[in-house]
Structure 1
Amino acid sequence: MLPIDIKERILGFINHIDYKIIKRNELADIFLENKSDIEEFNSILDELAANGELFINKKGKVGTLDLFSMKKGKYSSTKNGYGFVDVDGEDEGIFINEEDRNGAFDGDEIIVKVIKNSTPEKKAEAVIVKIIKRANHDVVGVFHQNTSFGFVIVDNKKFDMDIFIPKKYFSGAKNNDKVVCRIDIWPENGKKPEGRIIEVIGKKGDRYVEIDSIIKHHSLLEEFPKKVIDQLEDIPDYIGEEEINGRLDLRNEIIYTIDGADSKDFDDAVCVEIMENGNFKLGVHIADVTHYVTENSPLDREALKRATSVYLVDKVIPMLPPKLSNGICSLNPNVDRLTLSCIMEINPQNGKVINYDIVESVINSKARLTYTEVSDILENENKELSEKYEFLLENLKNAEKLALVLRNRRLKRGAIDFDFPESYIILDEEGIPIDISPYERRTSNKIIEEFMLLTNETISEHYHWMKIPFVYRVHEEPEEDKIIELKEYLNMLGYKMIFSRTGVRPKDLQKALNSIKDLDTKQSVGRVMLRTLRQARYSPESLGHFGLAAKYYSHFTSPIRRYPDLQIHRIIKEIINKKYNKKRFKHYEHLLAEVCNQSSIQERKAELAERDVDDYYKAVYMENKIGEKYLGHISSVTSFGIFVELPNGVEGLIRLQNIPEYFEYVEKSKTLVGKQSGKIYRLGQKLQVKVENVNVDLREIDFSLV
């Protein structure tokens, strides 16, 4: 019988610096005392090879991937057929020619053999030799029917092969239906993939069908399973007196919520007072979701699977069922609600937190305010609203003063404020987009933003120094070569970015942004900067947040819609109630890496789905604007054309072939230069454009120069 840790022993042996490639039977001779174990041993080798933890060549020789000049990574395809492999720990992707992809599709986990190493001028090149794991077995697309067979054209244009469907697997699908197709046979030797229809979504072009197709494409879950629904029956609609015992009772305090006009779930409520010593007292009260979502219950497992709520213009896919998210967990006005509070004393001169308490509490919100109402009171002294909320006026003015102090402190330490303009899409009763308007960040939005940022930092620093397993929101420093590339690019645009030998600081980027006076150019450069930075993620390690210039940062303030917040609430409550011990320490030490990974993955899925839905509605809206003229600005310049953004946030492409002169793309400055005229198109430049064409299926909008 083989030892329990045989896999670890094999991997340890072949990863040793002195290991030389040997045949599998020679490896068996080293590890096996009994020849009867040979079949099991070979099975383990095959399993390790299937997972990409080692490689076995055609001659049966075994070694690490490195010994065979191979690497494991994730394949990213392009619309043009070629792609790149992203390898963990390596900054640059490895180029894959179309003929060398060997049946791989976007997102597949693969093994490649490097055939050309990278040079300063060219990326490394490789051939895909093995597909370890397929990213998608189920895909969404349009079904096309022939007499004896059918095929599906996948919505995701990176999936560049039609899927053959035998007639017996049509499952009731008709021509031009949007469907979910399961792939049973992957392409090999020039053949197309083959599959079967497992769900008919509806007719292509129908608004609800198109939105459902996006939801299914991103594998987002809408319906809650029966076990979760059953658990809801045991959750009351009100707070019992026994649940309040032992909590800090804040029900008589002037506490209120400020959210969007269409919000239905309220995670956070606030209160701002001036203390006798002149300091601010800020109370941030967050819904105590973990009181109802107990660890490893059906509700908890489903919440982790989803990890985030998804907001799709006129539809929300919640992380928690509405009974919780809109009901007993939501801090609705004039009802008792259980909360977890962070109550901070803040110096009014420098915005530093002097003292704080983190406690279980109970509140009764005195008002449900909207961002517009609060901004109209504070900015415009709206008489009607000021009279309606007279009992809150002093509190709101305190909030405005405190938020300004906090914002100044944050910007002074160097936090980056990109302040990208957002737009919101307005639909009529039929779900047709009738307007796209810029979304303003007004005074009230900034108040809540500052209060939540401060609370998240305070919580994060407190538990960081306790040295316990925790969930952090991290944003690591950018890669040096990308920063140098950004600096050179800004220099070519005529702007300076100075940073020291020790590396770039957030304030270096902010200074460069502040030096750009034209708002459109500033926003476009900000987006280039953002692409230079790493992506924020969740991590069990406290690695700081570069963009916020914060040493410690966690997400604490939205447990109704984000699982990481819910997770750290559970840890915090165990500590408050003295239930945290060595056993729980080890439990979280083992658990949190997976929680962070799942939350980061689902967050990215949600972002992509939200973007796809926005792009769909923008294309539908602009479909009726063909021939109309607009003034926009250049948001991006590429080798194939110029992207122009309109004031409402809609972006369209002027294709290079439609510009009446030969233009050459200059990579370093990201500009297009006219060969004869010398005319230059660059970021931020104002252009008058006309809407030429809209392809709703591809969500593409074409402009022409006027």
Structure 2
Amino acid sequence: MTEVDDRLISDTLEVFRNNPDKKYDPEQINDILRMNGSQAFKKVVKSLAILEGEGKINVNSNGRFKLAPPDQIVTGEFRANEKGFGFVRYDETDPDIFVARPNVLHAINGDEVKVKITKPANPWGSRGPEGEIVEITGHGLTELVGEFQPYSDVQVEKTGLLGYVQSHEKKIAGYRVFIPDEGLHPQMGDMVKVSLTQYPSDEQPNSMQGVAETVLGNKNDPGVDILTIVYDNDIHVDFPDEVINQAEDIPDTVTSEDRKGRVDITDQVMVTIDGDDSKDFDDAVTLWKLDNGNFHLGVSIADVSYYVTEGSPLDQEAYDRGTSTYLTDRVIPMIPFRLSNGICSLNPGVDRLSLTCDMEIDKNGHVVSHEIYPSVINSHARLTYSNVNKIFDNDKEQIEANAELVPMLNDMHELHDILYAMRHDRGAIDFEAPEAKIIVDDNGKAVDIEIRDRGISERMIESFMLAANETVAEHYRKQHLPFLYRVHEKPDEEKVKNFFETASTFGIQVQGSIKNITPKMLQTVVTKTKDTPEELVTTTMLLRSMQQARYSEDALGHFGLAAEYYTHFTSPIRRYPDLVVHRMIHQYSQNTDEALKEKWNKVLPDIGQHSSIRERHSIDAERAVNDLKKTEYMEENVGEVFDGVVGSATSFGIFVTLENTVEGLVHISNMHDDFYEFDERQLALVGKRTHKTYKIGQPIKVKLTRADLDSRKLDFEVVLPPEEQKKVDEARKKNANRQRGGNKRHNDRNKKPFNKR
């Protein structure tokens, strides 16, 4: 056994104490301590094991170590469950801390809390740590939107309160926010934005108090439903005056001053390819074949950072928003439309400022050389995905209309095939889920749901953007300069184990060790189940096992793409991290001195964390609006029967997905033909008497019984075959008769005798 002296253990611990928030793998510790040779490395590993055994450092499921917090009290964000318990997220990769209902200390969703870990995680099992909240250090929820319920005049006079507001969001729907008789006077059914002044306490555990700030309108007014969700997710709607003023002062054409220090490539045949309804174009592409058989791919991205200057009102507002939010009937932009649809948009036929990444790509899909530089471009055409797909499908009308561009587009198709094959070979996991486009009328009411299939043109542009993002990330990583990366870490080991066990039930055996998970291992399962009944199961399980992608100053790689280096460079109109990446590229082209490095080292952690949080807010709003509009669309179809697929099974029922992507629940209490129990291994509900099984991916026929707009939920019942339904009806009838007979005998026994006189 390798002996470890106390000095090495002490030096190892000192590394963690000097960087208490940083995680290290054994190789990094070995490098920091400047240990050489395999024997020395074994000693480092041993010292880590000793420190972990003593509880001085912790290890996560990815094998990375971090200093253990003193007394195991950590600070994190509380994420409530509607049933009263919750979880505290205190680290992007470590498992969340479970907090039982009696231990939440009246914390509400989004609160910053200190939590004492009462039971550590089991590193060899699926159980995470447990804890109790000892202090609420900050309230994440300072405003909310809810429906106003007024008090009677007598109650107002007695309590001094106008009534209360109650949110429709399930995580805080259990709280009433009382409104004092001052300021605004909403009406019954109004959706009201409230600024919170008092929070739950021992005396009032289920209520808060607040001031009515804004009346959005009655809950039945057009557009108020979406506006409610927008405010609930803390998404800025209106731009401050100083932001609008700065945007108005920016010229709407490229000036001679703007062109200084840029490469003029307006002669290159650049095109934009976007959706039919797109209005902001932040990427343009060009391509030609080189004499050596390689491809020249040029990706030019709108240079938003030139106009949104560092520290300006525009920049601060873009940082606060973090991203644009795309809803069914509107876009809430990160920067004002005057910029996003104007000077910052690569509109056809006009000169625009951009940052260009030129890549020479060989026939194996590898970038053999590249150049990144500020440029001036002029888009030759605004193409749409649908029309380019028609060209690839040999549509004569579109081929004739775009005759000059067709040869380049065909070469782009060829390069895309090469890039896709390259990514697949290295293990990139390709998720292909149907996308729904919800059609609304002039009042915002959902009238149809269309399924959008991604064609070759969509995948082609994605391939080119991925290539540019990887190239830019690798360029600055290899220069050892501070940079902002888009990272996607290895999935949770226990969840992957469950995923492989499920795959084995389909006869798919995955080669390799769970201790060293690679994207290729997971891709194998996805590939083998493609276009089979098991495809939905494997995709669903795999998505559940994955970590959430985020922004980080550390180049941790992108597991899903099987990419060693990855960033977001290609969408600065709608993503703040991309804008920051552009800003760094400009500044590094001027100098790379220590002062500049120190500046970015200082601010990047905050930018990465904040941008990740704002991205989640935007995604939550987009999902909530989609759920709302799908529920609204289905409201007209209550009582109708639909074909669907079991999307997931739980202990309380099965979620069913219809062909139009709408999802609803068949609650276990509405499954009348048997008593069903949840089989965790099969992820299925199994009938106790009949052994009938409902599992993921199984076709099913259901009837819509309820569409609840407030909760944005749909309820289904299983439609049984006629012969099975007949048996259920007969059993119900017998039970009803027995019940009536029992009640009659009970009533007869309790009758008092009638005494005649």
Shorter-chain TM band: 0.7 to 0.9
Q: What does 1:250-261 align with in structure 2 at a 5 Å threshold?
A: 250-261=265-276
Deviation at 1:164, TM superposition (A): 4.3
Of 275-284 and 92-101, deviating more is: 92-101
Contact 2:525 2:538 (8 Å CA) reproduced = no
CA deviations 1:534-591 (Å, max 9, x no partner) are 1100011111000000000011111111111111111112233x24432222111111
1:472 counterpart = 2:475: no
- For 1:505 and 1:65, the matched residues in 2 are separated by 28
Distance in structure 2 (CA, Å) of the matches to 1:494 and 1:166: 60
Quote the residue 1:606 is aligned against. Answer: 618
2:131 corresponds to which letter in structure 1? A
Q: 1:87 to 1:394 in 2, by over 3 A?
A: same
Residue 199, structure 1, aligned to residue 211, structure 2: no
**1:131 correspondence with 2:136:** yes
With 634-643 and 230-239 compared, the bigger mean Cα shift is at 230-239
* Preserved contact between residue 192 and residue 214 of structure 2 (Cα < 8 Å): yes
Which residue of structure 1 aligns with residue 4 of structure 2? none
Describe how 1:373-452 pairs up with structure 2 within 5 A: 373-379=387-393, 381-452=394-465
Amino acid at match of 1:144: Q
Question: In the TM superposition, what are the counterparts of 1:570-581 in structure 2 within 5 Å?
Answer: 570-576=583-589, 578-581=590-593
What is the alpha-carbon distance in structure 1 between the residues aligned to residue 213 and residue 194 of structure 2?
Answer: 6
Q: Do the aligned partners of 2:263 and 2:376 also contact (CA within 8 Å) in 1?
A: yes
Offset at 1:116? 4.8
Residues 180 and 210 in structure 2, CA contact (< 8 A), matched pair in contact too: no
- CA deviation vs aligned residue, 1:251-294 (integer Å, no higher than 9, x gap): 12211100000000000001111122221111111111111111
Give the Cα–Cα distance (whole angstroms) in 1 for the partners of residues 544 and 276 of structure 2: 32
Partner of 1:177: 190
Task: Report the CA distance shift for 1:166/1:251 in structure 2 as closer, same or farther (over 3 A).
Answer: closer
Structure-2 separation of matches of 1:236 and 1:362? 16
**1:299 and 1:117, CA in 2 relative to 1: closer, same or farther beyond 3 A?**
closer
Q: CA deviation at 1:494?
A: 4.4
Deviations 1:221-267 (A, max 9, x none): 11111111221233111112332243222112211100000000000
CA offsets 1:144-181 (integer angstroms, 9 cap, x no match): 00125401112221114433424414612111111112
Indicate which of 310, 315, 322 corresponds to 1:295: 310
1:48 is matched with which residue?
A: none
Distance 2:127 2:322 in 1: 39
Whole-angstrom distance in 1 between the partners of 2:120 and 2:310: 48
Distance 1:482 1:607, change over 3 A: same
Query: Could you say what the CA RMSD is over the residues aligned between the two structures, in angstroms?
Result: 2.2
Alpha-carbon shift at residue 69 of structure 1 (Å): 5.5
| 2:637 maps to which of 610, 617, 625 | 625
Segment of structure 1 superposing worse, 440-449 or 578-587: 578-587
Which of 238, 247, 258 is matched with 1:223 structurally? 238
Q: TM-score, normalised by structure 1?
A: 0.88
- Counterpart of 1:340 in structure 2 is 355
TM-superposition CA deviations, 1:477-501 (whole Å, max 9, x none): 1222222222223334544333336
Partners of 1:663 and 1:396 lie apart in 2 by 55
Structure 1: how far apart are the matches of 2:220 and 2:538? 36
More deviation, 522-531/211-220: 522-531
Secondary structure of 1:233's partner?
helix
Letter of the 1:561 counterpart: R
Residue 666 in structure 1 maps to residue 679 in structure 2:
yes
Q: 1:279 to 1:185 in 2, by over 3 A?
A: same
Q: What residue number does 2:497 align with?
A: 484
Check whether the contact 1:420–1:523 (CA below 8 A) recurs between aligned residues: no
- The residue correspondences of 1:307-326 to structure 2 (distance < 5 A) are 307-326=322-341
Contact 2:490–2:546 (8 Å) recurs in 1: yes
Can you list the C-alpha shifts for 1:109-137, whole angstroms capped at 9, x where unaligned?
22234445566586654332221111102
| Contact in 1 for aligned 2:493/2:514 (Cα 8 Å) | no
- Distance of 1:246 and 1:69 partners within structure 2: 54
More deviation in 83-92 or 306-315? 83-92
1:456 aligns with 2:491: no
Structure 1 residue 86: Cα displacement: 3.0
Aligned letter for 1:466? Q
Structure 2: distance between partners of 1:16 and 1:570: 28
1:391-438 residue CA offsets vs partner (Å, 9 max, x unmatched): 101111111011001101110111000111111111122322111111
Which residue of 1 is the match for residue 373 of structure 2?
359
Distance 2:175 2:19 in 1: 45
Report the equivalent of 1:53.
Answer: none
Task: Supply the distance in 2 between the matched residues of 1:589 and 1:116 (Cα, whole angstroms).
Answer: 35
Question: Structure 2 vs 1, CA of residues 479 and 184 (structure 1 numbering), >3 Å: closer, same or farther?
Answer: same
Name the CA distance, whole Å, in 2 between partners of 1:703 and 1:675.
21
The letter of the residue matching 2:574 is: R
Q: Check whether the contact 1:480–1:503 (CA below 8 A) recurs between aligned residues.
A: no
For the residue of structure 1 that corresponds to 2:577, the secondary structure is: helix
Amino acid of the residue matched to residue 111 of structure 1? K
Q: What secondary structure sits across from 1:384 in the alignment?
A: helix
CA distance in 1 between counterparts of 2:317 and 2:424 reads: 39
Conserved 8 A contact 1:525-1:683 = no
1:140 pairs, out of 131, 142, 145, with 145
Once residues 90 and 593 of structure 1 are traced to their aligned partners in structure 2, the CA distance between those partners, rounded to angstroms, is 15
Work out whether 1:583 is the aligned partner of 2:591. Answer: no
Matched, 1:243 2:248: no
SS at match of 1:498: coil
Structure 2 gap segments, 5+ residues each: 1-14, 21-66, 153-160, 720-757
Contact 1:161 1:193 in 2 (8 A): no
Residue 83 of structure 2 corresponds to which residue in structure 1? 80
Q: Secondary structure at the match of 1:391?
A: coil
In 1, distance between residues paired with 2:663 and 2:91? 33
Alpha-carbon distance in 2 for matches of 1:256, 1:90: 40
Separation (CA, whole Å) in 2 of partners of 1:402 and 1:70:
53
Residues 118 and 589 of structure 1, relative CA distance in 2, 3 Å threshold? closer
> Are the aligned partners of 2:298 and 2:358 in contact in 1 as well (CA < 8 Å)?
yes
Distance 2:476 2:113 in 1: 39
Secondary structure of the structure 2 residue equivalent to 1:105: coil
Whole-angstrom CA distance in 1 between matches of 2:650 and 2:148: 34
Give the superposition deviation at 1:71. 3.8
Q: Which moved more, 1:549-558 or 1:151-160?
A: 151-160
In structure 2, relative to structure 1, the CA distance for the partners of 1:163 and 1:196 (3 Å cut) is farther
CA–CA distance in 2 between the matches of 1:599 and 1:571? 16
2: CA distance between counterparts of 1:333 and 1:507?
41
Deviation of 1:528 after TM superposition, in Å, equals 1.8
Structure 2 SS opposite 1:242: coil
Residue by residue over 1:65-109, the C-alpha shift from the partner in whole angstroms, topping out at 9 and shown as x without a partner, is 966554433222212222223343774433333233221111212
Stretches of structure 1 lacking an aligned partner (at least 5 in a row):
1-11, 18-63
Q: Are 1:141 and 1:155, in contact at CA under 8 Å, matched by a contact in 2? A: yes
1:528 paired residue number: 541
Query: How many angstroms apart in 2 are the aligned matches of 1:425 and 1:115?
Result: 47
Q: Could you say if the C-alpha distance between residues 195 and 505 of structure 1 is closer, same or farther in structure 2, counting changes exceeding 3 Å?
A: same
Residue from 498, 503, 506 that aligns with 2:519: 506
Listed one character per residue, the Cα deviations across residues 677-700 of structure 1 (whole Å, up to 9, x for unaligned) are 111111100001111110011000
> Are 2:110 and 1:107 aligned?
yes
Question: CA 1:244–1:72 in 2, change beyond 3 Å: closer, same or farther?
Answer: closer
